[in-house]
Amino acid sequence: MTSPISSNWFQQMTMASMAQAAPAANPSSMSPLGGMGGDNALFMMILNAAMQSLQQSAPPEVSFLQTPMAMQGTGSFTPIQVIIQPMQSPVAGATPAVSPVSASIQPIDTRDVPTSLNDKSDFGFKPVQFIKLENTLEGKLSGSAQHFINAGKKYDIDPGLLTAIAIHETGNGSSRAVNEKNNVAGMMGKNGLRSYASIEDSIYDMARNLRKNYLNQGKDTIAEIGAKYAPVGAANDPTGLNNHWTKGVSQQFNNLT
């Protein structure tokens, strides 16, 4: 890219051209000594003064090679300070913070419990009609049919029995225990009703408890299971709901089979 035309160059070229043109226009103005005539000299002085005045009033030359950033205003620039805090390493031996809700939920025992020879009941695992089971469940229990079936397979228990107990204990998914604690079977903990992370966990915990502490102990009828599971007159049953446990579970079981 070519540099801009200098006003000095323009002035010099103009004066040179005028100097050449002046003698040709008026040859008689040349002095015998070869200098310029008075009129011509006066014209050149006026032209020179005009060009100097123009040069002084002209804006400063700007090179076309300057970048857009260089042509910006000269306003002050204040840098932005960014402070990045380093990640803090956990203190050795420190206990992570746990919310009160999660602190009250204990993991369930998922170990297998083989069926004992003491189990003479007819409550071993049996295939069930998934659609019928699913359509029976309501409230918080809705959508849990597959969990009852899977828990029944794992612990060799009829899914119908598991479902019947859950429906009776929760009013078919409407009780506070199931809605606030995901407790489907009235399972107790150290501080009262136990809380679970999910409905599925509660179903599996109920199934394992029935296999280990009831069926494997020779409790082979709903009445025998109820006598231990929900004993009449228990201290934690001040309203006497346990009086209806055997009848209620039996009715729900018969509806599913």
Query: Could you read off the pLDDT of 2-43 as tens digits, one per residue?
Result: 555 555 655 666 565 555 555 544 444 444 444 445 566 666
Q: Which CATH architecture has domain 111-256?
A: Orthogonal Bundle (1.10)
Q: Which pLDDT tens digit goes with each residue over 154-192?
A: 999 999 999 999 999 999 999 999 999 999 999 988 888
Q: What pLDDT does residue 238 have? A: 77
Question: What is the rounded (10 degree) CA torsion for 237, 243, 244, 246?
Answer: 110
Sign of CA dihedral 208, 211, 212, 213: positive
Please report, for the chain, the start and end positions of each structural domain, with discontinuous segments joined by +.
1-26+36-53, 111-256
Question: What is the rounded (10 degree) CA torsion for 197, 203, 208, 209?
Answer: 90
198, 182 Cβ separation under 8 angstroms = yes
Pairing label, strands 188-189, 192-193: antiparallel
Q: Which pLDDT tens digit goes with each residue over 191-203?
A: 889 999 999 999 9
